[in-house]
Structure 1
Amino acid sequence: MAEGRQAEARVELKFGAIQKVLVVDDSRLQRRILKASLKKWGFEVLEADSGDAAIEICADDPPDLVLSDWVMPGMSGLDFCRAFRALDNDQYSYFILLTSKSEKQEVARGLDAGADDFLIKPLGAEELRARISAGARILDMQRELSEKNRIIESALKNLRVAHDAIDKDLIQARKMQESLVPELTGEFGKSKISMLLKPCGHIGGDLVGMFSPGANRLGFYSIDVSGHGITSAMMTARLGGYLSSNHFERNVALQKDGDKFYALLPPEQVAEKLNSLLMSDTAVEEYFTMAYATIDLRNGLLQVVQAGHPHPLVLRRDGSTEFLGQGGLPIGLLADASFQKVETYLQPGDKLLLYSDGFTECSLADGSLLDEDGLRRMALDCAHGRSGSEFLDDMFWRLTQEMAPGGGMDDDVSAVFFEYN
Structure 2
Amino acid sequence: MAEHDRDEGEAPKAPARVIGDVLIVDDSAGHLRLMASILKRWGYRVHEAGSGDQALEVLGRETIDLVLSDWVMPGMSGLELCERARALCVDRYVYFILLTSKTERADVAAGLEAGADDFLSKPVSAEELHARIFAGERLIASQRALEDRNGQLAEMLDTLQSLYDAIARDLVEARRLQQSLVPAGLKRYDGAEVALHLRPSGHVGGDLVGSFAIREGQLAVYSIDVSGHGIASALMTARLASYFSGGSRNRNIALERTDTDSIRMRPPEQVAAELNQLINDDLETELYFTMAFAVCDLKTGGLKLVQAGHPHPMILRGDGRIERVGRGGLPVGLIDGASYEVVEERLMPGDRLVLYSDGFVEQEDPGGAMLEEEGMAGLIRDSGAMGPEPALDRLIEGLARHAGRAEFDDDVSCAILDYRGRDPGAPEAS
Work out whether residues 291 and 306 of structure 1, in 8 Å CA contact, stay in contact via their aligned partners in 2: yes
Q: Distance in 2 between matches of 1:56 and 1:245?
A: 79
Map of 1:179-218 to 2, 5 A cutoff? 179-214=180-215, 216-218=217-219
State the distance in 1 between where 2:39 and 2:156 align.
40
Show the counterpart of 2:341. 340
Aligned residue for 1:339, secondary structure, equals coil
Kept in 1, the 8 Å contact 2:26–2:50? The answer is: yes
Change in 2 beyond 3 A, CA 1:181/1:248 = farther
Are 1:397 and 2:400 matched, yes or no? no
In 2, Cα distance between equivalents of 1:204 and 1:299: 36
C-alpha displacement at 1:74, in angstroms?
Answer: 4.4
1:155 corresponds to: 156
Distance 2:311 2:157 in 1: 42
**1:376 equivalent in structure 2:** 377
Equivalences for 1:409-420 in 2 at 5 Å? 409-420=408-419
Q: Secondary structure at the match of 1:240?
A: helix
Look up the match of 1:3: none
Partners of 1:153 and 1:319 in 2: how far apart? 62
Paired with 1:236 and 1:149, the residues of 2 have a C-alpha distance of 42
Determine the structure 1 residue equivalent to 2:34.
Answer: 33
Percentage of pairs with the same residue: 48
Q: Are the equivalent residues in 1 in contact too, given 2:256–2:263 (CA < 8 A)?
A: yes
Task: Say whether the 8 Å CA contact 1:18–1:136 is kept in structure 2.
Answer: yes
1:241-275 CA-to-partner distances (Å, cap 9, x unmatched) read 11014666401111235888521111111112212
CA displacement at 1:298 relative to structure 2: 1.8
- Report deviation, 1:372: 1.4
Which residue does 2:65 correspond to in 1? 64
Asked if the contact 1:213–1:261 (Cα under 8 Å) also holds between the matched residues in 2, the reply is no
Q: Which moved more, 1:372-381 or 1:243-252?
A: 243-252
| Residue identity matched to 2:200 | P
Instruction: For residue 70 of structure 1, report the CA deviation from its aligned partner.
Output: 2.5
Q: How far, CA to CA, are the matches of 2:374 and 2:23 in structure 1? A: 79
1:182 Cα shift? 2.6
Alignment of 1:165 with 2:166, yes or no, is: yes
For 2:23 and 2:69, locate their aligned partners in 1 and report how far apart those are by CA, in whole Å. 8
Whether the 8 Å CA contact 1:291–1:304 is kept in 2: the answer is: yes
List aligned pairs for 1:112-123, cutoff 5 A: 112-123=113-124
Q: CA deviation at 1:282?
A: 4.7
Alpha-carbon offset, residue 301 of structure 1: 0.7
Secondary structure, aligned partner of 1:299 = coil
Deviation at 1:165, TM superposition (A): 0.9
**Contact 1:210–1:245 (Cα < 8 Å) also in 2:** no
Q: Mean Cα displacement is larger for which, 343-352 or 243-252?
A: 243-252
TM-score by length of 1: 0.89
User: How many angstroms apart in 2 are the aligned matches of 1:309 and 1:184?
Assistant: 25
Whichever residue aligns with residue 133 of structure 2, its letter is I
User: Which amino acid is 1:48 matched to?
Assistant: A
The answer as to whether partners of 1:11 and 1:42 remain within 8 angstroms in 2 is no
CA gap 1:331/1:191 in 2 versus in 1, 3 angstroms: same
Structure 1 position 387 matched with structure 2 position 387: yes
Residues 261-315 of structure 1 deviation map (CA, whole Å, 9 limit, x = unaligned): 5211111111122122212215233211110001112221111011111111111
Whichever residue aligns with residue 326 of structure 1, its letter is: R
Which amino acid is 1:401 matched to? R
Contact 1:226 1:288 in 2 (8 A): yes
Pick closer, same or farther for the CA change 1:185–1:35 going to 2, 3 Å. Answer: same
User: Could you tell me how far apart the structure 1 residues matched to 2:257 and 2:81 are?
Assistant: 92
Matched, 1:11 2:10: no
TM-score calculated relative to the size of structure 2: 0.87
Worse-matched range after superposition: 161-170 or 110-119:
110-119
Q: What is the Cα deviation at residue 395 of structure 1?
A: 1.4
> What's the offset of the Cα at 1:197?
0.3
Taking the aligned partners of 2:310 and 2:72, their CA distance within structure 1 comes to: 84
Q: Please say which of residues 118-127 and 279-288 is displaced more in the overlay.
A: 118-127
Task: Give the counterpart letter for 1:327 in structure 2.
Answer: G
Q: Number of residues paired by the alignment?
A: 412
User: Cα distance 1:302–1:46, how it changes in 2: closer, same or farther (>3 A)?
Assistant: same
Q: Amino acid of the residue matched to residue 18 of structure 1?
A: I
Q: Is the 8 A contact 1:243 1:251 kept in 2?
A: yes
SS class of match (2:14):
helix
1:54-113 deviation line (CA, Å, top 9, x unaligned): 233222322211011123344433343343223255321111222334455554554454
Q: What is the rounded CA distance, in whole Å, between the counterparts of 2:369 and 2:347 in structure 1? A: 33
Alignment correspondent of 1:178: 179
Tell me how far apart the structure 2 counterparts of residues 302 and 335 of structure 1 sit (CA, whole Å).
27
Classify the secondary structure of the residue corresponding to 1:322: strand
Mapped pair 1:265 → 2:266: yes
Distance 1:198 1:246, change over 3 A: farther
**Alpha-carbon distance in 2 for matches of 1:315, 1:343:** 16
2:302 maps to: 301
What is the identity, as a one-letter code, of the residue corresponding to 2:398? R
Q: 1:54 to 1:260 in 2, by over 3 A?
A: farther
